[in-house]
Amino acid sequence: MSGAEGARAANGNPRRSFFQRQLEELGARFSILEDGPLATDFGTATAEREQARQLGLCDLSSLPRIGFKGANTAAWLAGRGVALPAQPHRLARIEDGLLACRLSPGEALLLSQPWGASRLIKDVERAWSIESAGLCFPVPRRDSHAWLALVGARVPAMLTKICGIDFRPHKFADLTLAQTQVARTSAIVARADVEGTGCWHLLFDSASAAYMWQVLIDAMSEFDGRPVGCAALAPPGSAL
């Protein structure tokens, strides 16, 4: 039993990352969250922080996230303190680093900040009931979608190999998102920079996780990209 599996057993958490085996093979160190084990680093935190400025691949699949669909979505979320951007394909940073993405007029995606769980997401999830929310329904994005952060200056160049959208910073602004195809797989790409470094969140079918990991590792190799732990994305001194 690997260290990571031991940690899971000790915490009794049955959840695993969609990239669990890839991360364990790379020697990841995990922090056990309510939604599963989060790879904080690979034992080289300082180097990973530097790597993240160039090109890093960070698994955030164990962080809370949830979607909502339906005509009443924006109003119901607003009543819970989550103000969605006015326009689709935009996202907003709100309380405790939560990223509120508006996928369409009636569809939202809430993402935790990249280095820790967002309390507000759990609050919203608990507050929902089919009786009270009207035409607003939760979508289990925590499990339907794997979540990787692509971080660093070379991300747009790397993405040209697998996606037809121009993600360069001056063409694809911070807090913008696209629903597109990445390596022939449907994906949401949302840009939300961290600590002044470009960060593109990639969410896609969780069943395609192993495939996409292999695609990204291959695409990144040309640009010296490597996996990094989520500590590389966190502000200095932040608690993980």
Q: Is 179 in the site for other proteins (CB under 8 A)?
A: no
Alpha helix positions (H), the chain:
3-11, 20-25, 45-54, 73-79, 119-127, 141-144, 155-159, 209-221
- Minimum CB distance to other proteins smaller for 55 or for 194: 55
Does 173 engage in binding with other proteins (CB under 8 A)? no
Q: Per rule CB under 8 A, is residue 211 in the interface with other proteins? A: yes
* Residues near 218 by beta carbon (within 8 Å), at least 6 away in sequence: none
The nearest distance, CB 126 to other proteins, in angstroms, is 13
How far apart, in whole angstroms, are the C-alpha atoms of residue 232 and residue 225?
A: 14
DSSP label at residue 226: E
Q: What is the contact mask toward other proteins in residues 15 to 44, using x (rule: CB under 8 A)? A: xxxx--x-------------xx--------
Q: How far is Cα 71 from Cα 104, in angstroms, rounded to an integer? A: 10
Q: What share of the chain is helix, strand, coil (3-state, %, to 5)?
A: 30, 30, 40
163 binds other proteins (CB under 8 A): yes
Considering only 29, 49, 65, 142, the residue that binds other proteins (CB under 8 A) is 142
Per CB under 8 A, the list member of 27, 32, 70, 125 interacting with other proteins is 70
What does the binding site for other proteins look like in residue numbers (CB under 8 A)?
A: 12, 14-18, 21, 35-36, 61-62, 69-70, 130, 135, 137, 139-145, 160-164, 166, 168, 171, 183-185, 205-211, 215, 218
